Amino acid sequence: MATASDILDVKELNDILNTCSIIAAAFKSREDHRKQLELEEARKAGLAPAEVDEDGKEINPHIPQYMSSAPWYLNAEKPSLKHQRKWKSDPNYTKSWYDRGAKIFQADKYRKGACENCGAMTHNAKSCMERPRKIGAKWTNMHIAPDEKIETFELDYDGKRDRWNGFDPATYARIIEKYEQRDEARRKYLKEQQLKKLEEKNNKQKGENEVSDDDEDEDTMKDDEAKVDESKQMDFAKVEKRVRTTGGGSTGTVRNLRIREDIAKYLLNLDVNSAYYDPKTRSMREDPLPDADPNEKFYGGDNQYRISGQALEFKQLNVHAWEAFEKGKDIHLQAAPSQAELLFKDFKIIKEKLKSQTKAAIMEKYGNAATQEELPKELLLGQTERQVEYDRAGRVIKGLETSLPKSKYEEDVYINNHTSVWGSWWKDHQWGYKCCKQTIRNSYCTGAAGIEAVETAADLMKANIEHKAASEGKNSFYLFELYYTPTQAEEKKLAAWGTDVPADLVLDQKKLANALKKEDERKREEKDERKRKYNVRWNDEVTPEEMEAYRMKRVHYDDPMKDFLH
C-alpha cells in the first residue's frame, strides 16, 4: 500500500520531468541560435516579415528580448505580448467624451435655484459663462438660457492621458481658413506697397527723363513683382530659432535645419493599409504613395534610396571589405575608407582581366561556334543513341518514334471548313490557304470550285487588259457619231470598253433613238433635283435598245474625250 511519502515523491518526480521537458524545448543548438540571430537582424532591417502573435498582430522587432519573451510558467507556445498587457479590462471604464453644446431643457420662466444671470439650472451665477447682463434673468424673467447636458465619466488610464480625446477634426478647417485669409491679406498688402514704390520711382524718372513707354513700365512691374515673390519665398523658407547665449543675457539666431512646413512621412498617406512606419527608427521602407505621379513625388520610401545612386556601390564596397578581411587581407572600411576603395577598384580591374583571359582561352581551345558559316548536321538534327525499328509499311515495330517538339502556339487548327492551316500557301508576297488558295484569313473554304473561279477571273482580267491595250492607240472621237448614227461596225468598236457586243445582234434604229432620248432625260433629272419625280415606277423589262443606249451614254473614265461631253 502506497504511503503519503511515496505520493509526494511521485509528484516531485512529475515536476522534475516537466521542468526538464521545458528546458529541452527551450534549448537550442549553436546552429539554431545562429539562424535565430540572423532572422532577428533581417527583421530589424526590414528584409524579413515581422513576427506575428496569436491575434494576428505584428510584433515590433526592436522590442528587447527580455520584454518580448514570456515567462516559462505561462507555457506560451506562440510569440505573444499578452504578458505585457493588462489582461482584464474594467467594464466601468469608458472612452466616450462630453457632448459639446448639448441642451436638455428650455424653460419659459425663471426657476428657483437657477442662475441669476442667464436662468439655467445647471450652474450658478458665479460659474456662468455668459456676458453679465445689466439686469439678470431672475428679475427680467426673459431670455432664459437652456439647461446644459451634464455628464460624468470614469476614464481609464489611457483615457485620462489622451490629449486628443473629444477633439473634433472639423474644427481644424476653420483654423486653415483663418490662416489662408491672413496670408491673402498679407499678399495684397505687400503688392500694394510695391506698387506704391513703383509709382514713386516712375514719377521721379519722368521728372528727370521724360520717358513714357508703357511696355517698359509693364516689364519693370512684372520683374519687381517676381522679385517680391522670390523675397517672400526666401523669407518663408528661412527658419531661424532665437537662443540665449552664455553672455550677459544677449540673444542670437541659429539656423534650424528642419523646415516646419515639411510633411512627416506618416502623414503622407493616412490609410491604415499603406506603407508601414516604424516610430522607433523613423523609417518607412515602402512607398506611401505608389500610384502618384513620379514627377510630383519627393519621397518614395527608404528603399528607394537603398537601390539608387551610390548606395549599391557602397554595399558592394562593404561586402568586398568583409570578404577580403575574412581571407586575411588587412582592410577595414571604417578605419581606412580610401584604402578600401582603392583596393576595390584594383579588384574590379583584375577581375575583368581574368574574365577576358578565361574567355580567350576557352575560345582558343574549343573554338567559337557562332563564327562558323555552316553547322554540322549532327548538331542540327540532334542525333541520339535511341534505336527504332520499322516494317515495310513504315509502322514502328520496336522502340518509340521521335516526337516532334510542340510550341506554345496552337498547331493544326482548321477553321471555316479549311483542310489546311493558314500560311500553307504563298503567292505574290501574300500568305493564304493551300486548300482553296485564298489570301483572306477569316474566309470560308470554297475548295476546288473556288480555285477554278479565281483562275477564270484572272484569265478574264488578263483578256480585258490586253483588249484595252490593243484599243488605246485608236481614235475615240467616234463616240459622238455613235450617239446619233450607230451602225453594226461601230457597235463592234464598243467592245474596246470591256463589253462585247455579239455580232448577230440586230437593233431597231427608231427604238434606239427613243431609248437615247429617254436616257438623256434621265440624266438631266439626275443633275437637276427640281425635275425629279415623286412617284417613280420601275420597269424590270429592259430591251436590247435600252441596254445599248445605256452603254452608249455611259461615261468611261478612261476616255480622253469625256471632259468634252455635256
Residue with the bigger pLDDT between 86 and 481: it is 86
When pLDDT is cut at 50, 70 and 90, the band that residue 495 belongs to is very low
Burial pattern 477-511, b for ≥16 Cβ within 10 A else e, equals: eebeebeeebeeeebebbebbeeebeeeeebeeee
- The answer to whether 494 and 552 are in contact (CB under 8 A) is yes
SS3 content of the chain, % helix, strand, coil (to 5): 45, 5, 50
Residue in 399, 551, 396, 552 with CA at minimum distance from that of residue 481: 552
pLDDT (tens digit, 9 = 90+) per residue, 22-63? 554 556 788 988 998 899 899 888 888 888 888 888 889 998
* pLDDT for residue 486: 45
- The answer to whether 76 and 70 are in contact (CB under 8 A) is yes
| pLDDT (mean) for 144-165 | 87
* pLDDT for residue 9: 57
Burial pattern 283-308, b for ≥16 Cβ within 10 A else e, equals: ebbebbbeeeeeeeeeebbbbeeeee
pLDDT (tens digit, 9 = 90+) per residue, 86-108? 766 666 677 778 888 889 999 99
Residue 302: CA count within 13 A, CB half-sphere: 14
Average pLDDT along the chain: 78
Distance between CA atoms of 253 and 251, rounded to whole angstroms?
A: 7
When pLDDT is cut at 50, 70 and 90, the band that residue 533 belongs to is low
Residue in 557, 565, 562 with CA at minimum distance from that of residue 468: 557
* pLDDT for residue 339: 92
- E strand or H helix that includes residue 501: none
* pLDDT for residue 298: 82
Strand partners, 253: 242
- The answer to whether 430 and 439 are in contact (CB under 8 A) is yes
Q: Alpha-carbon torsion 515, 518, 520, 522, what sign?
A: negative
Q: For residue 63, what is the DSSP state? A: S
| pLDDT (mean) for 465-469 | 82
Distance between CA atoms of 120 and 138, rounded to whole angstroms?
A: 10
- The answer to whether 59 and 51 are in contact (CB under 8 A) is yes
CA distances from 74 to 19, 51, 342 (A): 13, 19, 56
* pLDDT for residue 381: 67
- For residue 55 the three cell numbers come to 491575434
Q: How many CB atoms lie within 10 A of CB 513?
A: 16
DSSP string of 150-172, one letter each residue: -----B-HHHHT-TTTT--TTHH
- For residue 356 the three cell numbers come to 577576358
pLDDT (tens digit, 9 = 90+) per residue, 414-442? 888 899 998 899 988 899 999 998 888 88
Distance between CA atoms of 516 and 518, rounded to whole angstroms?
A: 5
- Which residues, 6+ apart, have CB-to-CB distance to 104 below 8 Å? 146, 147, 148, 149
pLDDT (tens digit, 9 = 90+) per residue, 241-300? 555 544 445 555 555 556 677 788 888 898 888 999 998 988 999 999 988 888 888 888
* pLDDT for residue 499: 47
When pLDDT is cut at 50, 70 and 90, the band that residue 483 belongs to is very low
Q: Residue 526: pLDDT above 80? A: no
Residue in 274, 271, 278, 265 with CA at minimum distance from that of residue 58: 278
pLDDT (tens digit, 9 = 90+) per residue, 370-382? 776 676 666 666 6
